[in-house]
Copies of this chain bind each other. A is one copy, B any other.
Amino acid sequence: MLSQDDSRSAKPGKRATINDVARVAEVSKKTVSRVINQSPFVREDTRERVQAAIDELGFIPDPQARGLAFRRSFLVGMIYDQPSPTYVVNMQQGILDALKGSGLELVVHPCSRNSPTLLKDIRGFVERQRLFGVIMPPSVSEDDAVIELLRELDCPYVRIASLALDEPQNMVVTNDWIGAAEAARHLADLGHRRIALVRGLASFRSSAVRGQGFIDALAERGIALTPEYDLQGAYTYESGVEAGHALLSLPQPPTAIFTLNDDMALGVMQAARERGMELPRDLSVVGFDDLPMAARVWPNLTSVRLPIREMGQMAAEKLLAPMRGVDPAKLQQPEVRPALVVRSSAASLG
């Protein structure tokens, strides 16, 4: 009988459980549970004894068992429809930075906003996994139906977007307009006056926000953006090529073009090349995103960088705040500051 107990305390090859810890620390498993969950109702010396047992046994609470009892898993979902791999991977990295040491894991869930099963898919994902929370970058972060669903499912979420669409505890606001304004000032400072804008998809809020930041900053320098210099693109390379040709075939073509992402900037550069122009001599181009290729194309592309990784980290920290006993609305987080990365694709005028 006794030998059976002894063998149980050894448990070769098997992970220690809360029962093992309780036995070694000579407390009930409930007390061990209190220590794990950082309950304040544990006497200091008891806590220390339990902690010592935890350390000795190398005990790690089983997230599945905890999740089952809590009726909530230790999984954070990232739901995204972002087409840019760089954006997605950097944001994943940032979320993982914040999750490190918390015991939470990141489950990825790409989606398509125009899929007829979008809501059904997300519901299945969130409900089945009883997610701890969800983080969404644009544009799915801007989808009212998705947000409504998450509220109905009682699933905590953080939205990343260029506008404050929600309460502070559910938002990371990216201030894209600051970056667009910097781009405008940069081009104006280089002496350009005939400056054009190529917008992204109108269904993305970032397109309006970035566009407005650009227009406002130009206006500060006394430059008005005329309608023929204000084109609608689609955030794709192809739409950049098209917009580039449209702008460069104008009777009075612009000397500089700002596109609301890098893919379109490269499209504009392609169009200029197809027309026999030399860059940046004949045309200055500035993009937005600072993709890795911005530093690799010729001429190197001047572009606005958003701190994507930090944005992911900030979002995850908002999600974790309640668990850490912090009010997420009062969480001190740095402002998201876009920055212009100046390279050689925009040059001074003549």
| Cβ-based interface call for A286 (8 A) | no
How many copies of this chain sit in the oligomeric assembly?
A: 2
Interface of A is mostly: helix
- CB-CB under 8 A from A291, the residues of chain B are 293
| Cβ-based interface call for A295 (8 A) | yes
- CB-CB under 8 A from A130, the residues of chain B are 62, 64
Chain A window 103-127, contacts with chain B (Cβ cutoff 8 Å), 1 for yes, 0 for no: 1011110100000000000001101
| Cβ-based interface call for A239 (8 A) | no
| Cβ-based interface call for A162 (8 A) | no
Chain A window 253-290, contacts with chain B (Cβ cutoff 8 Å), 1 for yes, 0 for no: 00000000001001101100100000000000000000
| Cβ-based interface call for A50 (8 A) | no
- In angstroms, Cα B267 to Cα A297, docked, is 9
Whether A93 pairs with B64 at a CB distance below 8 angstroms is no
- In angstroms, Cα B174 to Cα A93, docked, is 26
Distance between A66 CB and nearest chain B CB, rounded to angstroms: 9
Whether B89 pairs with A105 at a CB distance below 8 angstroms is no
| Cβ-based interface call for A85 (8 A) | yes
- In angstroms, Cα B267 to Cα A293, docked, is 11
Whether A106 pairs with B105 at a CB distance below 8 angstroms is no
Q: Which of A63, A106, A296 has the most CB of B within 10 A?
A: A296
Between-chain CB contacts (< 8 Å), 21 pairs? A15-B127, A63-B128, A64-B64, A64-B67, A64-B130, A75-B107, A86-B86, A89-B89, A103-B128, A105-B107, A105-B129, A107-B107, A266-B293, A269-B298, A270-B296, A273-B298, A293-B293, A293-B296, A296-B297, A297-B298, A298-B298
User: What 9 pairs across the A-B complex have the smallest Cβ distances?
Assistant: A293-B293, A85-B89, A85-B85, A266-B296, A85-B86, A64-B67, A64-B68, A105-B107, A64-B64
